[in-house]
Amino acid sequence: MSTTGEYFKSRVLITGGTAGIGLATAKRLLLDGHQVFICGRSAEKLAAAQTELAGMDVASSIEGTVCDVRDSDAVSRMVDQAASVMGGLDALVNNAGVGRIADVEAMSVEYWRDMIDINLNGVFYCCKAAIPYLKSSPKGNIINIGSRAGRYAFPGGTAYNATKFGLQGFSEALFLDLSKYGIGVSLVAPGAVATGFAGVEDEDWHLQPDDIAKVIGDLLRNDQRANVNWIEIRPGLRDLR
């Protein structure tokens, strides 16, 4: 699918689309002319996000649903709903994720399981449910939102690093599985983003959600012959360890 001239307008499902990077991505993609379906765990946050997106000049409304990506059955229903509403599915943005910073001795079993279930199992469930639709798309794409923590460990990151290192490997192997169908797979790995994620206080040198959303929008413009496997985004105002 060539990007010369008028580029392909995708039907995009964004998980964790009610705030932060997910909401910024929904705005960017709507402005670019794509169709967007969002999901989140909170009905209240979903309604607020839909209201905010509906106020944009490019769209009077936006479809979405409540979904906990830890529940594989709920994910299957959500993906089916998104494809039904949009008349198909061309791209999946796996953005839903959680993070907690704690030494391994202080990390509870519940926190560990929660991060594995959302950051890894949830991505698998979403991909598994979306692939049949993406195979029917003229330009299928999966974009996984990882982290620089997927390559660089930090103190207190045993669980979070484990999930993001795992997502890196999953994404690279997934590309090899799906390349025969012409489905692109990309991993976007930002450094610190000003979203209050994992309880980290925002600082003026942090990346902004819009920075990540722009990269995702650019990925959807790419020709399918050029798969971008990994994009690392570092704050430009200050180095990170």
Give catalytic residue positions: 160
Cα-Cα-Cα-Cα dihedral sign, residues 149, 235, 214, 202: positive
* Residues 8 and 32: beta-carbon distance below 8 Å: no
218/132 Cα distance (integer angstroms): 24
* Residues 49 and 17: beta-carbon distance below 8 Å: yes
Distance from CA of residue 181 to its chain's centroid? 21
Q: Where are the alpha helices (DSSP H) in 36-187?
A: 43-54, 72-86, 109-115, 122-135, 158-178
